Amino acid sequence: MNKVIAPKFLNQQKEITGIIENFDTTGTLFVNGRRNKIKTFNLNGLVLNVKSFKVPNTINKVVYRFFRKSKARRSYEYANLLLEKGIGTPQPIAYFENSNSFSFLDSYYISEQLVADLTFRELVEVPDYPDHDTILRQFTAFSFLLHEKGIEFTDHSPGNTLIKKIGDGKYAFYLVDLNRMNFHDHMSFELRMENLKRLTPKPEMVAVMSNEYAKLYNKPEAEINALLWEKTAEFQRKFWRKKALKKQFKFWKK
């Protein structure tokens, strides 16, 4: 087992390692996903979020063993990079990797459990969510800050930003599910809009986001709205087409 533990937690290395060794039989189930599982654990009063990445397919066993960093390692390293750049994410604590001489097995990413008030998904699903317009505009400003710092969060989707109220009309944003990111010296207008296309299918929300983004970026609001809606609509078409094909395939498979 390969493991890296953040310096401030090295004095609890034994307890953290024990959590991973006993992951299957201890802890509280938080998310039981198709691909990954998340459990929470108590570490001397601190609640840990432990994400278990499943064993990859045959090809990726070799890829992750010899050629590419594991999802757990990327999550840990990207979390530290985000914090260095002043971007919110739960405190990274450690990552663990299991492999043998020829193939990669499974991996685990540990961070501090962050209790949020909502995710971006609530803004999409609950139009009359309290402070909806304020949160959406502050989220857009947060996304603009990511772009200004050259951070392309390629999994920028409704469930992957945790939102906490920190004062009257003020909100803080924290990125999660971090293993897919690119870092750039500069992000073009096209890439910025591409990065926002997965967030909402609602034209009224895209309009608000375009209005707020235009206040911060040297482009006319109409130009931002046109490109962002074009990319959003195309993403939605592909998403629903893919979903219909999967449903049809499952029907014929039966």
Candidates 181, 180, 37, 205; CA nearest to 121 is 205
For the segment 115-126, the average pLDDT, to the nearest whole number, is: 96
pLDDT digits (tens, 9 = 90+) for 190-200: 999 999 999 99
Query: Would you tell me how many other CB atoms lie within 10 Å of the CB of residue 122?
Result: 16
Q: Which CATH architecture best describes the domain 2-112?
A: 2-Layer Sandwich (3.30)
- For residue 232, what pLDDT band results from cuts at 50, 70 and 90? very high
What is the residue whose two structure tokens read 């009309």? 169
Percentage of the residues of the chain whose pLDDT score is greater than 90: 78
Distance CA 92, CA 18 (A): 18
pLDDT digits (tens, 9 = 90+) for 48-71: 999 998 865 666 666 667 567 889
Instruction: Spell out the residues 6+ positions from residue 228 whose beta carbon is closer than 8 angstroms to its own.
Output: 193, 196, 197, 206, 209, 210, 213
- For residue 6, what pLDDT band results from cuts at 50, 70 and 90? very high
For the segment 149-154, the average pLDDT, to the nearest whole number, is: 97
Distance CA 27, CA 19 (A): 8
Q: Please report the pLDDT score of residue 105 as a whole number.
A: 75
> Would you kindly state where each structural domain of the chain is located, as residue ranges?
2-112, 118-242
Q: Please report the pLDDT score of residue 33 as a whole number.
A: 80
Instruction: Spell out the residues 6+ positions from residue 165 whose beta carbon is closer than 8 angstroms to its own.
Output: 117, 171
Q: Evaluate if residue 34 carries a pLDDT over 90.
A: no
Q: Evaluate if residue 100 carries a pLDDT over 80.
A: no
Distance CA 55, CA 53 (A): 7
Q: Evaluate if residue 251 carries a pLDDT over 60.
A: no
Class of domain 118-242: mainly alpha
Q: Are 95 and 179 within 8 A, CB to CB?
A: no
For the segment 176-194, the average pLDDT, to the nearest whole number, is: 96
For the segment 152-179, the average pLDDT, to the nearest whole number, is: 95
Q: Evaluate if residue 7 carries a pLDDT over 70.
A: yes
Q: Evaluate if residue 112 carries a pLDDT over 80.
A: yes
Single-letter residue type at 211: N
83 φ, ψ (degrees, to nearest 5)? -65, -40
Q: Is the pTM of this model over 0.75?
A: yes
Tokens for 65, please give them: 């063993």
